[in-house]
Amino acid sequence: MRNYWALALISLLIIKIVLVNANSKYCVNQDTCDKCLNQHPTCAWCSDRLYEMRRARCMTEKDLLEANCRKEFIQINHYEPMSNVRDDDLRDFNKDFDSVQIRPQSVRMKLQKNRQQTVKLKYKPAKNYPLDLYLLMDLTWSMRDDKETLVKMGGSLSTSLKNLTENFRLGFGSFADKPIAPYINPGTEDNPCKLVQETCLPTYGFKHKLAMTDNIQEFITKVNGSEITGNLDNLEGGLDALMQVLVCREEIGWNDKTRKIVVFATDGPMHFAGDGLLAGLVKKNDKSCHLSDKGEYMASLEYDYPSLEEIYRELLRTKVSVIFAVTSDVIYHYDQMHEIMEEITSVGQLAADSSNILQLVEQGFKQAVKRAQFQDDAPDYLRVEYKTNCGGKYETLQDTNKCDNIEIGKEYEFDVGITLLKYPDDGAKSVKIKIEEANIDAEATEIDIEIDYPCTNCLAHPGEIASALCSRNGEYKCGACICDSGYVGKQCECNLQEYSSSKELDNQCREPKITNNNETKLMPPCSDRGECLCGECFCNANYEGKYCECETCPVSDDNGEECNGHALFCDCGVCQCQPEFTGPTCECSTLQTNCISPDSKMSNDGGKICSGHGTCKCNQCECEDSRTGKFCESTPGNETFNSLCIFYETCVQCVINRKLQHECSDYEQKCSSQNGLLYKSEFYDKISDADILCIARVRYDDDTVCEYKFTYELDEKSETNLRIENTDCPPVNVAAYSIIGIIVATFLIGFLILMVIKCNMYIAEKREFAAFEKERDQQTEYKYESPLYKSPVTTFRNPQSTSQSNAFEMK
């Protein structure tokens, strides 16, 4: 019987080795349809009854077809791409329409277990996005001058906010402390300022005085109309007030589509949860709104102060940021709070009279806007991962859901990967999740996820009870055996009656290991790297050992040898390398022979590593910046200082002279390596494609020097191959022809200039002669007298006498 089982198991192993294609390595050990399809996208399951039970039923579709599984019985993964249901363009805020800062707005996808779908999320902070700013001010006695300062700068506050956004509203409230001992002095309930001989309002916990409004004058009036109060200790009830500002959404007037900020101005620290016990207030803060119609906090003497953790959760829920504007003597106290709530708070040092509160508001607003952080409400069976380069801040995508130094109007992209880790316990077939920016309400990406349960059609068919395929010891359903009690195995072939329990059989495939506490611990069956059949491990590809505890020795793809052929031996997948090799697969040589250039080897310095411009790793040079070449010997664009070009030039000159049938002495000495091997040299028509080009100058005769381009190559054995470009020699005397050309060009240009001058003179003379001819033809008295002639005789006549001639002439 034992021989039969041994033969059967050996046969099974051989069949697996022969039939399992490398593409199926992720699939072959899955024994049910759902496990198979969830293992890898390429895995397919064969539910064909006629398929050989001993063969792997979970392989790629191609391998199953080759193994004669009928196509109609192959269950495969059906990939369905996600679709954007709503994908409006990003736009800034406008009075006529709301902004769109996140796209897409709605996505639909289908998820399979262990499969990830990625949503390309785009985010662009909108210009002029609405702002709701609530001033929560400590109006105890020590803050009396700060209130007056704030009244004076009310108009400036409006101007300052307009520089940040054109759409803003303001709200106002004040706080002091719980009006009960020991927080106030007994007997001073009506006038807590009696101790300083002043009159002020009775102590109160919190008063909401102005809901959100865009009327700046109303805001100034409310602040101006507020009166100072007092308390006994230095700590204030600010957390009581802050909780009411957060939970009384309607009373405060918070809008959904706004950025919400609370400016918390005080010069004292705060009471926390537990401090209320001093006054007998034992009820835990209920995080509910308790404002009267007049805006007064009515539960101040009923509940304890809230805890910082409760405030933090409410800030996240309501998406409100807090600017702590505090004086220097308490700033350390608020810095510690900021470290706990870094993403939604900022701290600024308030001047003694609050005169710099405008600057703190502006700084806090910019700090809140410059940070973008995304969050989601995914259930625990979904994993949501975020990747981004933060608009080019990083060269590669980083695993983060937030970016700092965000710029308004600039677009940022997040890759949001969603993976189904397990099927919901309640069997839900769909789920909706929301991805939103942590500090902005009403804008999000909603993802409608359909959960894909594999093999649904296959499992819906009734099974075959006591099937022969299951050794009559189980039910055959959807290509697998569901074994009866007392039997295990792929075909229910293992009878547990031979063992005290199935655990004993299972333990034969589990490797015992000694822990640090000297306790024996059993590892997973077959180390999770194989299949346990009747107490024996059949390992997956690339694993071996009794418990599949060892990886097979790494085989080089180049030579097919284990550990690249450089190991003394391989133990449990670990290469024990020869002394001159290192690395996981002995792929790295510890020698430095290939890092020393030939010219350096023949020099007196014993050989510089990588020409002194790099480091030798695995017997290969890694060059410093701007250096290239096998030995870092070259600077791109400046081969003049390439040491190997200079080193090989004498040999190249010899090779060229021999080709020109000129004499070359000491050829073998100039063209041989240190070990006596001659360099190989060949002539090519073109070598311009080489990475490094050198120049060799050869004298053709007494008056002519030719330049030859050449390059060098060193093979794996450091033997040199010289490639030389053919050059016609002697070359054309460019200089002589250039001089002749200049002389001829000069003569031609001079001749043309003379011709132009001569033509101009001829035309000018012709015009003057024509003018002369015309003027001569117009003469009446002296027709043939030159018009240029002027008579020396001038004649004058006396106009008074007309009867006699009184004319006289002057000469």
| Domain boundaries of the chain, sorted by first residue | 83-123+374-451, 131-369, 650-731
Residue with tokens 């007196």: 604
Give the H/E segment covering residue 689.
Answer: none
CA 585 to chain centre: 33
- Whether the ω angle into residue 792 lies within 30 degrees of 0, i.e. cis, is no
Confidence of residue 296 (pLDDT cuts 50, 70, 90): very high
Confidence of residue 808 (pLDDT cuts 50, 70, 90): very low
- Residue 595 has a pLDDT of 87
Span of 260-264, 391-395, 410-414, 540-544 with lowest mean pLDDT: 540-544
Q: Give a three-class secondary structure readout of 707-742.
A: EEEEEEEECCCCCEEEEEECCCCCCCCHHHHHHHHH
Span of 174-183, 212-221, 635-644, 740-749 with lowest mean pLDDT: 635-644
* Percentage of the chain lying above the pLDDT 90 cut: 21
Flag whether pLDDT at 159 surpasses 50.
Answer: yes
- Residue 6 has a pLDDT of 46
Give the H/E segment covering residue 644.
Answer: helix 643-659
φ, ψ at 522 (rounded to 5°): -90, 130
The mean pLDDT value for 402-424 works out to 90
Model confidence pLDDT, tens digit, residues 120-136: 999 998 888 889 999 99
- Residue 314 has a pLDDT of 94
Could you tell me which CATH class the domain 83-123+374-451 is placed in? Answer: mainly beta
Nearest-Å Rg of the Cα atoms of the chain is 48
Residue 440 · residue 369 · CB < 8 Å: no
Confidence of residue 20 (pLDDT cuts 50, 70, 90): very low
Model confidence pLDDT, tens digit, residues 746-799: 888 888 888 888 888 888 888 888 887 777 776 544 455 555 556 676 666 666
Residue 711 · residue 693 · CB < 8 Å: yes
CA distance 364 to 340: 17
Contacting residues for 560 by C-beta, under 8 A, at least 6 apart: none
In this structure, which CATH number among 3.40.50.1820, 3.60.15.10, 3.90.220.20, 3.40.50.410 belongs to the domain 131-369? Answer: 3.40.50.410
CA distance 656 to 662: 8
The mean pLDDT value for 583-600 works out to 85
CA distance 246 to 177: 18
Flag whether pLDDT at 334 surpasses 90.
Answer: yes
CA distance 497 to 499: 5
- Comparing 251 with 158, the larger pLDDT belongs to 251
Residue 212 in tokens: 């959100």
Model confidence pLDDT, tens digit, residues 715-725: 767 788 888 88
Residue 41 in tokens: 């996208």
- Comparing 97 with 369, the larger pLDDT belongs to 369
Beta bridge partners of 446: 106, 434
Residue 443 in tokens: 């804008």
CA distance 572 to 465: 44
In terms of Cα–Cα distance, which of 73, 76, 110, 78 is closest to 461? Answer: 73
Model confidence pLDDT, tens digit, residues 434-477: 999 888 877 899 999 998 888 888 888 888 899 888 889 899 99
The mean pLDDT value for 633-638 works out to 76
Hey, what amino acid is at 733? N
Residue 46 · residue 479 · CB < 8 Å: yes
- Residue 785 has a pLDDT of 56
Burial class, 427, CB count within 10 angstroms (exposed 0-12 / middle 13-18 / buried 19+): exposed
The mean pLDDT value for 535-557 works out to 82
CA distances to 165, 316, 700 from 365, rounded to whole Å, are 10, 17, 79
**20: how many CB neighbours lie within 10 A of its CB?**
21
Confidence of residue 639 (pLDDT cuts 50, 70, 90): low
CA distance 264 to 346: 10
Confidence of residue 353 (pLDDT cuts 50, 70, 90): low
Which stretches of 474-542 are assigned E, i.e. beta strand? Answer: 474-477, 480-483, 487-488, 494-495, 512-514, 520-522, 530-533, 536-539
- Residue 155 has a pLDDT of 65
Span of 14-23, 358-367, 394-403, 530-539 with lowest mean pLDDT: 14-23
Mean pLDDT of the chain: 83
Collect contacts of 485-491 with beta carbons under 8 A, ≥24 apart.
Answer: 488/534, 489/533, 489/534, 490/31, 490/53, 490/54, 490/533, 491/53, 491/54
Model confidence pLDDT, tens digit, residues 179-223: 988 888 887 778 888 877 788 889 899 999 999 998 888 888 888
Residue 89 in tokens: 């363009």
The mean pLDDT value for 668-674 works out to 82
- Whether the ω angle into residue 104 lies within 30 degrees of 0, i.e. cis, is yes
CA distance 652 to 658: 10
CA distances to 319, 465, 700 from 731, rounded to whole Å, are 81, 96, 9
CA distance 666 to 686: 28
At residue 749, the 3 state secondary structure works out as helix
Confidence of residue 417 (pLDDT cuts 50, 70, 90): very high
- Comparing 3 with 773, the larger pLDDT belongs to 773
In terms of Cα–Cα distance, which of 255, 175, 152 is closest to 212? Answer: 255
- Cα Dmax for the chain: 178
Residue 153 · residue 265 · CB < 8 Å: no
- The highest-confidence range among 379-383, 499-503, 659-663, by mean pLDDT, is 379-383
Flag whether pLDDT at 416 surpasses 90.
Answer: yes
- Residue 113 has a pLDDT of 83
Alpha helix (H) ranges present in 398-534?
A: 456-460, 502-507
Span of 150-164, 638-652, 742-756 with lowest mean pLDDT: 150-164
**170: how many CB neighbours lie within 10 A of its CB?**
26
CA distance 202 to 747: 111
- Residue 306 has a pLDDT of 95
CA distances to 534, 684, 722 from 653, rounded to whole Å, are 78, 16, 12
Flag whether pLDDT at 246 surpasses 60.
Answer: yes
CA distance 550 to 544: 5
* Percentage of the chain lying above the pLDDT 70 cut: 88
Provide DSSP, 127-194: TT--EEEEEEEE-SGGGHHHHHHHHHTHHHHHHHHHTT-S-EEEEEEEE---SSTTSS-TT-SS-TTG
Confidence of residue 735 (pLDDT cuts 50, 70, 90): low
CA distance 446 to 444: 6
The mean pLDDT value for 108-117 works out to 87
Residue 668 in tokens: 């073998």
- Residue 804 has a pLDDT of 47
Confidence of residue 11 (pLDDT cuts 50, 70, 90): very low
